[in-house]
């Protein structure tokens, strides 16, 4: 009889954790599974695009590649604000392309235990829960883990 393969501790740990980028949109703490992320940039010029959907903040040039930037504030129904030195664009890979998500600031990258993730409720701080896959229970607060598919289907 074959014995199941034993996994070393590091392999078992990676199966029980997810790496999350924690960031803020207004007072809402959000998170992005690092598996979707390409990179995070600040201080990139965003050029407005005439007649673009309201949630599209514009485009940014990332090493010669023109990338659409989506303002998460507008997607979540929060008043937009000027891009400042704290603002960050999280570049995410999705269906073979790269999209930028504008956030107010990036807080941290954390290893979240799978058991600390719960399905997102219908509404989180006035934002529709459909934009989130899970909430991550952190010490003292919750981080809402983005549903990239749903966010990119806006407009």
CATH number at residue 118: 2.40.50.180
Which pairing describes strands 65-71 and 46-47: parallel, antiparallel, or unpaired? unpaired
Burial of 147 (0-12, 13-18, 19+ CB in 10 A): middle
* Domains: count for the chain: 1
Give the pairing of strands 117-119 and 105-113. unpaired
pLDDT of residue 51: 94
Residue 86 makes CB contacts below 8 A (sequence gap 6+) with 42, 104, 105
Classify residue 5 by its DSSP letter: P
- The pLDDT value recorded for residue 14 is 61
- Tens digits of pLDDT across the chain (155 residues): 444 444 444 444 567 899 999 999 999 999 999 999 999 999 899 999 999 999 999 999 999 999 999 999 999 999 999 999 999 999 999 888 999 999 999 999 999 999 999 998 898 888 888 999 999 988 888 999 999 999 988 64
| 12 domain residue, yes or no | no
Q: And the tokens for 87? A: 């603002």
Residue 101 lies in a domain: yes
- The pLDDT assigned to 117 comes to 93
> Does residue 105 belong to any structural domain of this protein?
yes
- Residue 154 confidence (pLDDT): 67
**Domain annotation covers residue 69:** yes
Within a domain: 9? no
Say if 84 falls within a structural domain. yes
In a domain? residue 144 = yes
Q: Using CA atoms, how far apart are residues 14 and 125, in angstroms rounded to an integer?
A: 31
What domain range is 133 assigned to? 20-152
pLDDT of 124 reads 86
Q: Does some domain include residue 1? A: no
């Amino acid at each position: 009889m074959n014995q199941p393969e034993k996994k070393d501790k590091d392999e078992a740990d990676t199966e029980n954790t997810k790496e999350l980028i924690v960031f803020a949109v207004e007072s809402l703490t959000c998170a992005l599974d690092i598996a979707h992320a390409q990179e995070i940039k600040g201080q990139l010029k965003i050029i407005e695009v005439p007649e673009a959907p309201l949630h599209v903040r514009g485009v940014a040039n990332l090493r010669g590649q023109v990338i659409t930037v989506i303002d998460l504030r507008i997607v979540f129904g929060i008043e937009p604000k000027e891009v400042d030195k704290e603002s960050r664009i999280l570049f995410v890979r999705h269906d073979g392309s790269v999209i930028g998500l504008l956030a107010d600031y990036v807080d941290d990258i954390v290893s979240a235990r799978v058991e600390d993730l719960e399905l997102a409720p219908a509404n989180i701080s006035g934002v529709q829960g459909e934009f989130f896959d899970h909430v991550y229970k952190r010490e003292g607060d919750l981080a809402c883990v983005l549903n990239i598919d749903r966010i990119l289907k806006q407009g």
